[in-house]
């Protein structure tokens, strides 16, 4: 069975500081990995995804994540936090990218950005 663990339910950074949100996964098959962001009272929006190929994936709003198979990790980073980045972030794993795939989500990490 697949699973996702997000380390740290709350992360607080200062504006302009590095953002690092941690995600580790468990999968018996090559995983497909996703990061989603949820702003208050909204649905989830895809930030980036890894399916195959290059292990460093760039997404929207300056975020990127690196797939490290040896560490079973897919951490999300952004060099410089902006106030508008404050939101909840979800890491997710799927066993297949096709239509019948379904995502298993982590518990989420709330990012607070201090001025």
Partner 1 sequence: DAGVIQSPRHEVTEMGQEVTLRCKPISGHNSLFWYRQTMMRGLELLIYFNNNVPIDDSGMPEDRFSAKMPNASFSTLKIQPSEPRDSAVYFCASSPWGELFFGEGSRLTVL
Q: Which residues bind partner 1 (CB under 8 A)?
A: 32, 34, 36, 41-46, 49, 51, 90, 94, 96-108
Nearer to partner 1, 70 or 99 (CB): 99
Nearer to partner 1, 80 or 107 (CB): 107
Residue 80: closest CA among 9, 26, 14: 14
Whole-number Å distance between alpha carbons of 96 and 102? 8
Question: Shortest distance, CB of residue 76 to partner 1, whole angstroms?
Answer: 17
Nearer to partner 1, 44 or 81 (CB): 44
Nearer to partner 1, 52 or 70 (CB): 52
Question: Shortest distance, CB of residue 32 to partner 1, whole angstroms?
Answer: 7
Question: Shortest distance, CB of residue 48 to partner 1, whole angstroms?
Answer: 10
Question: Shortest distance, CB of residue 111 to partner 1, whole angstroms?
Answer: 16
Contact indicator for 54, 65 with CB cutoff of 8 Å:
no
* Cα dist from 49 to 17, 60, 83, whole Å: 23, 11, 23
Helices (H) and strands (E) in the chain, counts: 0, 11
């Amino acid at each position: 069975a697949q699973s996702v663990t997000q380390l740290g339910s709350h992360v607080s950074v200062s504006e302009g500081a590095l953002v690092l949100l941690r995600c580790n996964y468990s999968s018996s098959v090559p995983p497909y990995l996703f990061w989603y962001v949820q702003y208050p009272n909204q649905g989830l929006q895809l930030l980036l995804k890894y399916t195959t190929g290059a292990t460093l994936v760039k997404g929207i709003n300056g975020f990127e994540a690196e797939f490290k198979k040896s560490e079973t990790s897919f951490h999300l980073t952004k060099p410089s936090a902006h106030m508008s980045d404050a939101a909840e972030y979800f890491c997710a794993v799927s066993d297949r990218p096709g239509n019948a795939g379904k995502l298993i989500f982590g518990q989420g990490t709330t990012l607070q950005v201090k001025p």
